[in-house]
């Protein structure tokens, strides 16, 4: 015969298992959300080109809610402007690093280093180069960072060429034409590589960097008024 269940002593309740509590949600704190959003957008550009950038996807990569970025970037255009400024900053850092290793007493050699650094960065970072060199992705005129960086690089090139002329290293005397021709050369070569034209000219991927250096040397030989280096057979 089954015994009746004992009632718990007065003042005590039978112990019941408590459901496990979910850990309290921790508010998201970011030291520099703006910086992380820009880095996320730079990654998106590198993976899928400028068209792949969206504020929502940058937020997802940064691990924040879709609305969180809008305090820093109220629109995609604002985010793209920040991406362009970051790309320009990295480009300038490449130039400055190259010039730091260039011989101080050889301005034409410094000009060569500048041209090769330009090409090296552009060919290794084609989508970032596309952003800062094209007006399709952000408003150049409203980007103080890009405009000032670009103006400083132009001024740097002018000073280097003026030093080369004063040192008797240039045969050409129209420095503005030399500067424009030099920019056209490196810009055009970078675009040829990015747009996939090099194979048509018999230049394989493994030869591109050396070809770039040879083309810069050919240009420098021309403006210096000396014979160009012998072509390699």
Kindly list the domain boundaries of the chain, sorted by start residue. 31-74, 84-224
What Cα–Cα distance (Å) separates residue 215 from each residue in 95, 103, 111, 223, 228? 18, 21, 13, 13, 10
Helices 107-124 and 126-133 cross at an angle (nearest 10°) of 110
Q: What are phi and psi of 70, to 5 degrees?
A: -70, -15
Task: Say if 31-74 and 84-224 have the same CATH topology.
Answer: no
Query: Could you give the dihedral angle defined by the CA atoms of residues 182, 210, 117 and 166, in that order, rounded to the nearest 10 degrees?
Result: -50
Please give the CATH number for the structural domain made up of 31-74: 1.10.10
- Total-model pTM: 0.76
Q: What is the DSSP letter of 51?
A: G
172 CB contacts (<8 Å, ≥6 apart)?
A: 178, 223, 225
Residue with token string 């068209």: 51
The CATH number fitting domain 84-224, selected from 1.10.357.10, 3.30.70.930, 3.40.309.10, 1.10.3720.10: 1.10.357.10
Give the Cα separation of 169 and 193 in Å (integer).
30
pLDDT in tens, the chain (233 residues): 445 555 544 444 444 444 444 343 334 445 689 999 999 999 998 888 888 899 999 999 988 888 888 889 988 888 988 898 899 999 999 999 999 988 889 999 999 999 999 999 999 999 889 888 877 777 766 777 788 888 899 999 999 999 999 999 998 678 999 999 999 999 999 999 999 999 999 999 999 999 999 999 999 999 998 655 544 43
């Amino acid at each position: 015969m089954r015994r009746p269940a004992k009632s718990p002593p007065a003042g005590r309740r039978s112990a019941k298992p408590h459901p496990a509590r979910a850990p309290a949600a921790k508010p998201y704190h970011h030291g520099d959300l703006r910086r992380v959003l820009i880095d996320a957008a730079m990654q998106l550009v590198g993976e899928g080109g400028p068209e792949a950038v969206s504020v929502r996807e940058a937020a997802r990569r940064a691990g924040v809610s879709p609305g969180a970025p809008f305090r820093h970037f109220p629109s995609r255009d604002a985010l793209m402007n920040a991406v362009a400024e970051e790309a320009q900053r990295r480009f300038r850092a490449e130039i400055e690093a190259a010039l730091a290793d260039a011989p101080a007493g050889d301005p034409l050699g410094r000009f060569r280093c500048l041209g090769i650094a330009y090409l090296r960065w552009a060919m290794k970072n084609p989508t970032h180069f596309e952003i800062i060199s094209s007006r399709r992705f952000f408003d150049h005129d409203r980007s103080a960072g890009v405009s000032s960086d670009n103006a400083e690089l132009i001024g740097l090139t002018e000073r280097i060429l003026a030093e080369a002329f004063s040192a008797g290293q240039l045969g050409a005397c129209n420095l503005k034409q030399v500067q424009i021709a030099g920019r056209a050369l490196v810009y055009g070569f970078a675009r040829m590589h990015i747009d996939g034209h090099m194979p048509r000219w018999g230049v394989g991927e493994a030869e591109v960097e050396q070809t770039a250096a040879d083309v810069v040397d050919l240009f420098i030989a021309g403006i210096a008024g000396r014979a160009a280096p012998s072509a390699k057979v």
